[in-house]
């Protein structure tokens, strides 16, 4: 059990801080697998190294704070920050332009979808801040997605700790399924709006 040995090398307090720090970094756009971090958190609770509710609280705090930081960076600095080498690598111009175009087409629901898309998330949240979306709107959609995904992943690892690899694969399939369903709904709404708008123009 190499993973268990690794977890056992840390105290419970240290595990909380490590998990919080990694999730915070994920929100800032660093290419670290957030789901794996949440699975490790649930697994540490399964083995009694941490508490389930403690992991959930720390995980939700890290996720929401990380997402909020990238949002506020976009709101305060916008394009100026993307000219810096580090942020330009994380959020290149073509990705930001693509996100802004999707915002105009799909609206605020894109924030909910982005929570399940690691490579796209930071650009969406940064763009939401740059476009001066009200923070309460951002927090509603991002918080709703986090309240669905974070407890689900942590609990799955906790209740099925002896099937770690299997749980990881199931979570990935569920997340992909959620994205497909949400995208399908958004496309259906756009199609309905287009048909209605075209019909009104003809009349």
pLDDT tens digit sequence for 54-84:
999 999 999 999 999 989 988 887 767 666 6
**What pLDDT does residue 184 have?**
61
**Distance in angstroms (rounded) separating the CA atoms of residues 42 and 155:** 6
Domain that holds residue 78: 2-202
User: Residue 66 in contact with residue 126, Cβ under 8 Å?
Assistant: no
Q: Residue 72: which of 64, 83, 62 has the closest Cα? A: 64
Examine the pLDDT at 170 and tell me if it is beyond 80.
Answer: no
Rg (CA), the chain: 19
What number of H helices and E strands is found in the chain? 11, 0
**Predicted local distance difference test score (pLDDT) of residue 1:** 46
Q: Is the pLDDT of residue 17 over 80?
A: yes
pLDDT digits (tens, 9 = 90+) for 179-199: 555 556 556 656 665 666 665
Q: For 47-108, where are the alpha helices, taking DSSP H only?
A: 52-77, 79-82, 85-90, 93-106
What's the CA dihedral at 20, 69, 148, 140 to 10 degrees?
150
Give the count of domains, the chain: 1
Which pLDDT belongs to residue 160? Answer: 78
């Amino acid at each position: 059990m190499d993973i268990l040995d690794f977890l056992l090398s840390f105290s419970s307090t240290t595990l909380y801080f490590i998990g919080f720090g990694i999730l915070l970094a994920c929100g800032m756009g660093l290419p670290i697998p957030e789901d794996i971090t949440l699975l490790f958190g649930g697994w540490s609770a399964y083995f009694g190294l941490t508490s389930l509710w403690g992991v959930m609280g720390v995980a939700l705090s890290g996720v929401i704070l990380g997402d909020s930081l990238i949002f506020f960076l976009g709101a305060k600095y916008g394009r100026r920050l993307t000219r810096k080498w580090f942020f330009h690598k994380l959020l290149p111009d073509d990705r930001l332009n693509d996100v802004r175009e999707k915002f105009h087409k799909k609206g605020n629901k894109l924030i909910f979808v982005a929570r399940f898309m690691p490579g796209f998330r930071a650009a969406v949240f940064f763009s939401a801040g740059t476009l001066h979306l009200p923070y309460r709107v951002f927090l509603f959609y991002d918080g709703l997605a986090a309240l669905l995904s974070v407890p689900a992943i942590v609990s799955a690892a906790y209740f099925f700790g002896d099937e770690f690899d299997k749980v990881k694969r199931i979570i990935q399939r569920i997340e992909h399924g959620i994205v497909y369903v949400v995208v399908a709904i958004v496309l259906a709404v756009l199609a309905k709006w287009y048909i209605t708008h075209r019909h009104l123009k003809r009349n």
